[in-house]
Amino acid sequence: MKTLLRSLLVVGAVLALHSLATAANENPWATPPQQRDYLPSSLLFPDQSIPLRFFHDKHLAQEVDCTQCHENATTSVSSADQLIPVGAPGEAVCTTCHDFAGGAEADPPSACATCHANYEPAWKAGRKADDFHAVESAPAAMVLPKNHIKMNHKAHADAGVPCSACHGDLSKVQVATRENSLPVMNTCMDCHDGRRAPDTCRTCHETEPSGRLITSFEGGKLMPAGHFRNDAHDDAWLEKHASTAGNDDQYCANCHTEKYCLDCHTGVVKPFKVHPNNWVLTHPTHARRFDPTCSGCHRTQSFCVDCHKRSGVARASDYSTQTGKDELAWNTGTLGKFHPAGWVGDLKNGSARGMNHHGFQAQRNIRACAACHTEQTCVECHKSQINGGGLGINPHPPSFGKSMKCRSLRDTNARMCATCHVPVPECD
């Protein structure tokens, strides 16, 4: 029973490894990804299909040099070059050591299944078994899509950069894939620091004729992941991008034109993605704090007021000469309860001002009030009843008329007093 259980566990582990490797590169024999903080971009290195068995570790253990198989690696100047010995005449590189005529008995093994797992060739009539291209159906071919970076292998080889500097320790790798052997950006930046090698983005990334980086690919849009410069283009990027752009606007210019920025910062129509979902219901909390970022994009006397009028949370009398008592600020039926309870107070009973009273908010930040209301809104309540036509609600503290504050304001600008007082009284 214990033996059966142990066998099941082993089988389960093998199947798990098979599943992981197959999902990553369609090769159950591939070595799992090396321990790295992140993997190469699937946009720069599109998905590969490598249906082969191969053992870099065994070849390196036999002191087989990299260039013995990858003959063109030291002379290649383009990432489009095919550096892997696949198909004819590439397989001729393999025949240097593998005698296909010897098949499974050869040393090293040379049967088709040695590299092409579970493949049994069916030879064409009249063709010899050692003619490995004379088969009825060929094994599954490798698919290695063109990558989207610039890579000059020759320049690196001439500078004495070893293969392992970019591709890692292949003595622990069997089939080399995107996940376990291709370099990530952090690897490149070890040398491309602006001193030993250029650190501009276009050094490695493909560019448009304008010089800006190509960011749109068949699999999606290439965007920084945040490994450098705190530049992750995630959901929080709209809020935090100012600091990154402020530190180096030319870094942003690698991908974006100035018009791209201006369309958002000075454009009439703003993108909906600036605000989170349900923003219409939650924005009053930010607006009441007089968040200056609101006025950075919106004109309060047009954008905000127009929306509030359409939504029924602003009085028509605030924006016209037609005034009626049914439209006063405490008429919550007209306002749609835009302001909290206790905003105006109990005028009939003269109760004390509560914590929500508008007077506190007006004294703290009158600009927030002016975003929606004109001076006429205040005058309707606070203007003196005697010859003034208002309700005579005194906004001043007790004994204000005898204070130096009253005298100073009157001497500085008596017109301000005349807004509510007709005629302007003498300070007593």
pLDDT at 332: 46
Could you tell me if 287 and 426 lie in one domain? no
Could you tell me if 58 and 174 lie in one domain? yes
Whether the per-residue pLDDT at 319 is higher than 60: the answer is: no
Could you tell me if 28 and 177 lie in one domain? yes
Whether the per-residue pLDDT at 59 is higher than 90: the answer is: yes
- Ranges 93-97, 194-198, 319-323, 391-395, most confident: 194-198
- Give the span between the Cα atoms of 227 and 185, in whole angstroms: 9
Q: Is residue 288 part of a domain?
A: yes
Higher pLDDT, 195 or 263: 195
Could you tell me if 346 and 411 lie in one domain? no
Whether the per-residue pLDDT at 261 is higher than 70: the answer is: yes
- Give the span between the Cα atoms of 105 and 299, in whole angstroms: 83
Tens digits of residue pLDDT in 197-232: 999 999 999 999 999 999 999 989 999 988 888 899
Least confident of 284-293, 312-321, 356-365: 312-321
Could you tell me if 166 and 299 lie in one domain? no
Name the residue among 236, 265, 262, 241 with its Cα closest to residue 252: 241
pLDDT at 61: 93
- Give the span between the Cα atoms of 406 and 400, in whole angstroms: 6
CB-based contact 227:185 (threshold 8 Å): yes
- Domain span at 109: 23-145+153-183
Q: Is residue 412 part of a domain?
A: yes
Q: Is residue 112 part of a domain?
A: yes
Burial of 46 (0-12, 13-18, 19+ CB in 10 A): middle
List for the chain the helix, strand, coil content (%; round to 5).
40, 5, 55
Whether the per-residue pLDDT at 267 is higher than 80: the answer is: no
Could you tell me if 310 and 406 lie in one domain? no
- Give the span between the Cα atoms of 349 and 130, in whole angstroms: 108
Could you tell me if 31 and 177 lie in one domain? yes
Which pLDDT band, with edges at 50, 70 and 90, does 320 fall under?
Answer: very low
Whether the per-residue pLDDT at 1 is higher than 50: the answer is: no
**Residue count of the chain:** 428
- Give the span between the Cα atoms of 33 and 40, in whole angstroms: 11
Least confident of 40-49, 97-106, 250-259: 97-106
How many domains are contained in the chain?
3
Tokens standing for 73?
A: 């690696």
Could you tell me if 27 and 174 lie in one domain? yes
Which pLDDT band, with edges at 50, 70 and 90, does 118 fall under?
Answer: confident
Could you tell me if 106 and 125 lie in one domain? yes
Question: Side-chain half-sphere of 243: how many Cα atoms within 13 Å?
Answer: 8
Could you tell me if 288 and 412 lie in one domain? no
Residue located via tokens 């105006």: 344
Q: Is residue 253 part of a domain?
A: no
| φ/ψ of residue 265, rounded to 5 | -80, -30
Q: Is residue 304 part of a domain?
A: yes
Residue located via tokens 């070890």: 190
Residue located via tokens 């070595």: 31
pLDDT at 21: 41
- Give the span between the Cα atoms of 221 and 270, in whole angstroms: 21
Could you tell me if 48 and 157 lie in one domain? yes
